[in-house]
Amino acid sequence: MTRRRTSPFALSSLLLIALCAFPFAAAAQTATATLSGAVVDQNGAAVPGVAVTVINTATSLERNTTSNDAGNFTLRVTTR
């Protein structure tokens, strides 16, 4: 049984390709979250057309939306 030897050039090339590709994979990672809820009155009835504002107090990032006809809202926010 003969053992095949891998050339140092091939290993170096593979390592270089992996290292070059890593920053793109890391940069593509963005932490996002979806925040959803419902606006209701004191009787539990849906309230449409209400302005909803979410503020990240750490970054002062502000997101706005309006509740739909069923009183529901959904916001996609970044967590960083």
Domain assignment of residue 1, yes or no: no
pTM of the model: 0.59
Domain assignment of residue 3, yes or no: no
Cβ within 8 Å of residue 68, ≥6 positions away:
48
Per the structure, the complete domain to which residue 58 belongs is given by 8-78
Q: Assign 32 to helix, strand or coil.
A: strand
Tally of domains within the chain: 1
Domain assignment of residue 2, yes or no: no
pLDDT tens digits, 40-71: 999 999 999 999 998 888 888 889 999 999 99
Is residue 36 pLDDT above 70, yes or no?
A: yes
